Structure 1
Amino acid sequence: MKLQTIVCLLAISGLGACMKTTPVQSTTTSSTPASSKVTTATTTTTTAAASSSFAYGSDVSWLTQMESSGYKFYNNSGVQQDLFTILAGKGINAIRLRLWVNPSGGWCNLNDVVAKAKRAKAAGMNIMIDFHYSDTWADPGHQTVPAAWSSLSFTSLMNTVYNYTQSCLQTLSSNGITPTWVQVGNETNNGMLWPDGQASTNMKQYAWLINCGYNATKAVFPSCKVVVHLANGYDNTTFRWLFDGIKANSGNWDVVGMSMYPTAANWSTLNSECLANMQDMVSRYGKQVIICEAGMPVNDPTDCENFLKDLIAKTKSVSGGLGVFYWEPECYNNWQGYGSGAFGSNGEPTAAMNAF
């Protein structure tokens, strides 16, 4: 099934549009990409409280690279185990995996993601796939178009985002993987796939690129929840600006995703601001919310545990709060210069992981 969108243009003192999504059997390619024919963003109010399937999550995207470098993992009794076994023992029930288009070295490409997703599924965990739509890190300051896509027109870029997203998800499906969530873009505070999808200069094109990923996801996994993810979950001003812009340009999403990286000195204040932002996102747009990334310095595990317990409780209190994911807890001994893991130098989980 391929999602096509029928667009009717009505001229009454200007140009308006009525849009709806209709599944049809099709293998043809039109001059305007199916993914660009955006669907209308609906705002059905979320009434269900956080469900019993609340995601206690971890992003472990570095895992296979760490293992190839000789890293091993141990439970708190000092017994070497597979990382997924250790995480499950700490209450983790969901795994997040980033996906890069053509990364140097191959780590976090589609084959690598499939391998990790199979292990997560075997461990009985739900899965979030995080499309960066880049060959490398995408974040508020970096949204670099994949090298192979750099010369594409905007119409071709939309087609490519749709086809790439659909192809990757079909590969996961053929390997028995059904993700619970799919992120279209990573920390897209100012859009993605710059300059075409830079929100501050062309919000419409950013919204249409979101719909390319949204429609492709629904074509493969109709029940999968599509996440639009921003950094700084306490920054309500930026969240309102971006999601108001997406909505005004008929962008579609199911879940508002957030990152939270406080310090020992400010986590309580930022968590309270994040709670207010989550509540606003639910009431303003009728969408669910999820913490896609959270972390604190590894050398402060007690404060990190308290931060996470509080963040989990606050997310659960929100109608539509879906879960909290720690970002790369398995990192230890300053892996890749990252100092906010939640495993000690002995390769065992710190107290921070008790929060789950």
Structure 2
Amino acid sequence: MKKNLLTTLLLGSALLFHGQGEAMVKGADVSWLTQMEQAGYKFYNDAGQQQDLFKTLKEHGMNTIRLRVWVNPADGWNNINDVIAKAKRAKAAGFDLLIDFHYSDSWADPGKQTKPAAWQSYTFEQLMSNVWWHTYNSLIALKNAGITPKWVQVGNETNNGMLWEEGRASANMKNFAWLINSGYDAVKAVDGNIKVIVHLANCENNSLYRWMFDGLKNNGAKWDVIGASIYPSQSGNGDWFTLDNLCYDNLADMVNRYGKEVMIVEVGMPWDDPKNSYDTIADLLNKMKWIPNGKGLGVLYWEPQSHKSWQGYSLGLMDNSGKPTYALDAFLLQ
């Protein structure tokens, strides 16, 4: 495959300027995997041969897998048993692991942060306790299965907090900070080496990030890494290069302002636009190497194995046959 000039320049600059000790984090959230497999979806390598997804991702340079945890999902997908099954496969394939706690029975994102059904009547103090125990018990279950994640997210895309209404940040930042600390303390009680991530969407929005992390800092919240989502085709006018630059500027500011590491934990681009998808991923990986003080950890793609518009999602890295598009090759850079 012929690489364009932009890609060549990105690779060259990556080799010149990436001098940090640890390898760049390159990976994917594949939480839908077991559900897709049960539905009969199959996955293929570049040669069109059916192959386990983890092997294909490893062959394309990935080293990290992210998995979401829901408290009591109606259909069982993303509960701790499902997470353990996927985590075992990821570990066996040689991946590091990032666990993403939603603290909900289903999706938690900027538009909804719904408390689990069993927690609906709890006081705020009970919510803090349940965040601690849910986090701790889930990680202990993973540990008992021989798995210790390298990173843990306390909340998912918490642009306005979590566990609404009590944890809505715009109404009570202190409550949200205390919920974050409940999760943070639970993680460290399992293993002090696990790094805790606080995750927001809209990486291009510096004012959002400053508002949130200033508020958390001022209320005594603890975190190790700032996580970000970026979906260029769904933000602004879809100008991925401009949005990438805004995201970089924001993350560099986060490092300078708070001294913490940063990671892009979600990115997605249209599967049927592999050129722009490839260039977006390559650009973001390169930008991570330019983050001040070597604190840019890396980039994770959201559900790259999705194809045939699974669950209405069309931002995967596979064509409708389940074979990777060449955009997945971007993770081979560096």
Structure-2-length-normalised TM-score: 0.91
Is the Cα–Cα contact under 8 Å of residues 59 and 325 in structure 1 kept in the other structure? yes
Amino acid at match of 2:318: F
Matched, 1:323 2:298: yes
- CA gap of 1:205–1:49, structure 2 versus 1, over 3 A, is farther
Contact in 2 for aligned 1:133/1:145 (Cα 8 Å): yes
What is the CA–CA distance in structure 2 between the aligned matches of 1:348 and 1:173, rounded to whole Å? 33
The corresponding residue for 1:92 is: 62
2:190 corresponds, among 199, 220, 226, to 220
Residue 265 of structure 1 and its aligned partner are, at CA, apart by 4.1
Q: Distance in 2 between matches of 1:252 and 1:51?
A: 25
Structure 2 residue matching 1:289: 3-state secondary structure = strand
Q: Distance in 2 between matches of 1:316 and 1:346?
A: 34
> For 1:257-296, what aligned pairs fall within 5 Å after superposition?
257-263=227-233, 265-296=238-269
Q: In structure 2, what is the equivalent of residue 18 of structure 1?
A: none
- Secondary structure of the corresponding residue to residue 57 of structure 1: strand
2 CA distance for matches of 1:180 and 1:218?
12
Indicate the RMSD between aligned Cα atoms, in angstroms: 1.1
CA gap of 1:246–1:222, structure 2 versus 1, over 3 A, is: same
Instruction: Confirm whether residue 184 of structure 1 aligns to residue 159 of structure 2.
Output: no
Shift of 1:323: 1.1
Question: Which residues of 2 match residues 104-253 of structure 1 at below 5 A?
Answer: 104-253=74-223
Q: Is the 8 A contact 1:51 1:322 kept in 2?
A: no
In the alignment, which residue of structure 2 is the partner of 1:308?
281
CA contact (8 A) 1:130 1:182 kept: yes
Letter in 2 for 1:237: S
Offset, 1:317: 1.4
CA-to-partner distance for each residue in 1:56-111, whole Å, 9 max, x for gaps? 01000000000000111000101111000010001111000000001111000000
1:346 to 2:321 alignment: yes
Q: How many pairs were matched up? A: 309
Aligned to 2:34: 64
Q: Secondary structure at the match of 2:85?
A: helix
Work out the percentage of aligned pairs sharing the same amino acid.
57
Larger Cα Rg: Structure 1 or Structure 2? 1
Task: State whether residues 140 and 188 of structure 1, in contact with CA within 8 Å, keep that contact through their aligned partners in structure 2.
Answer: yes
Q: Distance in 2 between matches of 1:146 and 1:78?
A: 42
Where does the alignment leave 5 or more consecutive residues of structure 2 unmatched? 1-17
- Asked whether the equivalents of residues 49 and 317 of structure 1 are also in contact (C-alpha less than 8 Å), the reply is no
What is the TM-score when the length of structure 1 is the normalising length?
Answer: 0.85
Read off the aligned partner of 2:129 and give its amino acid letter: N
Structure 1 Cα separation of the partners of residues 257 and 73 of structure 2? 37
**Residue segments in structure 1 that go unaligned for 5+ positions in a row:** 1-47
Question: More helix per residue: 1 or 2?
Answer: 2
- Give 3-state SS (helix, strand or coil) of 2:31's partner: coil
In 2 relative to 1, CA 49–199 (structure 1 residues): closer, same or farther, beyond 3 Å? farther
Give 1:51 shift: 3.9
Range 315-324 or range 81-90, more displaced: 315-324
CA contact (8 A) 1:49 1:320 kept: no
